[in-house]
Amino acid sequence: MTSGSAETSAVIEAADTEMAAFAPPVVPTREASSAHPEGVPLPPLPVIPSMVPRSPELVTAAYEFAARNPDVLEYVPCFCGCETAGHTGNADCFVESRNEDGSVRSWETHGMACLVCIDVARDAMQLHASGGSVSDIRAAVEGKYLPRATRQTPTPAPPSQ
């Protein structure tokens, strides 16, 4: 082996180590929470402040989507840094807790004022409405946000479809 090969190997190894720091965490698959039952009214949202980063209609839609579609947003990561608050996926940005039947017990107010949380949910809603699978939605969201993200929630992989 020439010294050039050894240098090349060292450079490749260093690059692999550096890229590993940016790789999304591997989290085991789990089952999604039950969705908020149809026909059961959602609890009132917290008051939407006048200075939200998106329209009140979009913020409301994101909260309602999170309540009714945990089988999507629990498998879609968030990129705003909210993993420090214990969030494991974008659903946690909107729903704080659920009752045993899946109905929303309490809302997480973090999503009200976070541009990233709202935009991730909006993208997931649009992809879901167009028929995208959870795996496709996650891949599209990661493709859009990972290149510029410095953080990501440790989101579990979606179940095999």
Higher pLDDT, 10 or 57: 57
Q: Is the pLDDT of residue 17 over 50?
A: no
d(CA 106, CA 90): 16
What residue ranges do the domains of the chain occupy? 3-148
| Beta-bridge partner residues of 98 | 104
| Mean pLDDT value across the chain | 84
Calculate the CA dihedral of residues 87, 90, 91, 96 and round it to 10 degrees: 40
Terminal alpha carbon distance of the chain: 47
Residue 101 has a pLDDT of: 93
Tokens 């209609």, residue? 57
User: Both tokens of residue 41?
Assistant: 């009214």
Count of CB atoms within 10 A of residue 57's CB? 9
Write down the H helix ranges in 21-154. Answer: 56-68, 70-73, 115-129, 134-145
Express each pLDDT in 42-97 by its tens digit.
999 887 767 778 998 999 999 999 999 999 999 999 999 999 999 999 999 999 99
Residue 4 has a pLDDT of: 52
d(CA 133, CA 108): 26
| Backbone dihedral angles phi then psi of residue 29, each to the nearest 5 degrees | -70, 150
Express each pLDDT in 117-145 by its tens digit.
999 999 999 999 999 999 999 999 999 99
Kind plus residue range of the DSSP H or E element containing 6: helix 3-20
Residue 76 has a pLDDT of: 98
